Structure 1
Amino acid sequence: MSARTRLPAVLLAALLTGACGTAITPTATPATTSTPTTTTSTTTESAPATARQVDDDGFAAIRGTSVALRAPEGMEVDDDLPGLRRPDNRTTIVVTTTFLPEGKSAAVALDEAAAEYAAAGGTDRGTVYEPPRRTTAAGHPAVAAIGRQGTDADAFTEVSVQFVADGYLVRLTAAAEPSDPLSADDLLAALSGARWTTPPGPGVEVTAAPGYQRVWRPQEVWLSTDGTDVMGVPKLVASRATGLLTVPVEERRAYAEDWFANLPTKSRADSVTEVSIGGHNGYEMIGYGPYTTFFTMLFTYDGCILVVGDFDAAEHPDQVPVLRTMTRSVVPV
């Protein structure tokens, strides 16, 4: 299947766009080559930067986020940002989202955002900001700041807006080159008028093995031995993708192997096992090496369930039996 869609599930820092819905990236380490063993018996590419069809209200979804923006005239979606870009100059609008630390309130996060803009004489990455203002964006309380970046002769106008929604700190940053027709007020209106769609939850539950703790994440079940996402620590992440095209039975193994091949930790699986968990059939794959990767894809009537775990084999005892036990406990919700 060639169509790929993206649902948010992050194993460490980067995102790997996947076909059956979720984006999961284990701890990166050089791939090794081995011959897979099996107990049973299409590489796809991400979309290039391009204009995207907008909805009836003129809003375009920003890939990898829950934000939609009404593109100012002449700007189009650029998935590489992610955000919007004017193709004939350097004007951009960039969307970033980060997890709000557990226990931190939206009010505290916005106070910190305001302090960020006001700190160090109002400079940030070479941008001189006016005093921040309180506003709203996507229907949420927000902090906004307007600034200038660069010398007087060729200074960019920069507008930044931050708000909190569903456990995420969302930052929208617009930068317009001097010749751009958009004013600072135009950019502020575009950012403040953003839409936010509440992202789906994990869609699954997993029983934690002894010694594993839940790490707070809004869109996946994330378990690790120390309750953190520190690199190399044994971990398991699970998420469910729904509302997607189903994969024909005869294509499922190749489909799962393609997914595994795109994980940075391994180029191919050392073992492939057909499994059935909770009435859902799929494949378990293991790649051994400095970082051992444990991967399971289960196919549902409307998508799939993805489970990925990894650990530093030099620092921790074999976790494969534990990761397998937790995977066998996966229940769709």
Structure 2
Amino acid sequence: MRLRSVFCAAVILLVAGCGSTQKTGQVTTPSTAASSTAPSSTAAAAAPTGDEQAIPRTRISLLVPKGMRVEPSLPGLGRSNSGTSVVVVEQAMDGKPVQEALNQAAAGLTSERAKQQGIELEEPVELRIAGFPAFLTSGTQRVAAGTFGKVNAMIAADDTLVIITGTLQPGESLTIDDFKKVISGARWSAEAAPGSIGFDLTAAEGYQRKESTAAITYNRGEQGGPKLLAAPSMGQVRLPEDKRAYAVDRFAKTPSTPSADTVTEVTLAGLSGFEMLGRDSKGRTAYAVMVFTETGYILIMGDFEPAKHGDQLPAFKEMAHSLVLK
């Protein structure tokens, strides 16, 4: 994944329902991803302890507030039947200068696009977290369900950009300051804690697979080249009855704002969903599949420039249709 995509993901982590606000009679709470939980996990959620615990699939450890617990599927911390969570995402910076990476990431959090999504954050404060350069900011996000508290940190740890996003639902007993202490007190380990994202795809010929804490990416290697990303939903996703409309809306509200020209019903790994094809705001061919699990969805999406890279749809479909649950 290109680093530019990471900065887009940082904003998406703050967006309600991953940008979806379907009016279905069910309340949508702020979600944390491209992304409810992953379809499965190899680790059970830890009981609330108030102790410091490692976050699965990351090198981050956090103090777990009373009443919350480690949720491997996020990965992060959650509270049962609540929109309150702390989600940790790690992504390689691929050699980009640390300060430049942090500045770009921080700018995305207070951008006009973020404000259009109801996100109002203070100017990020520069500090050190876990011994590394970092930015920390807080504020609110307005959605149909109410006004949620937000705390967000960007940490440049070694060659890794760590994004930690805290969300507090209305009426939550924990406060913004509580979450600031949890996040600013993060610790860094040499190795990632174990855990599974819950699914996998087989890379098509010429594509390289790379797994991060919140997604798996497949690309051809060149900057700006064809890429495909697969990610589970995160946070509390309450799906509407009209799942087709939900999938199309989710597709349209990704950072490149594509439009779906065709929508086809599919079944992958025993999960029903919809396959979409269209163009994004830069004229690139955009492809996506959303399949629904018992607790949310898996979103597979990619784009490419036909004039430069030829028709990648066969490769994209081959990878998407190879989906297996783990």
Q: Which of these two proteins has the greater Rg computed from alpha carbons?
A: 1
Whose RCO is larger (CA < 8 A, sep 6+)?
2
TM-score (norm 1): 0.47
Hey, which of these two has a bigger chunk of helix by percent?
2
What TM-score, normalized to structure 2?
0.48
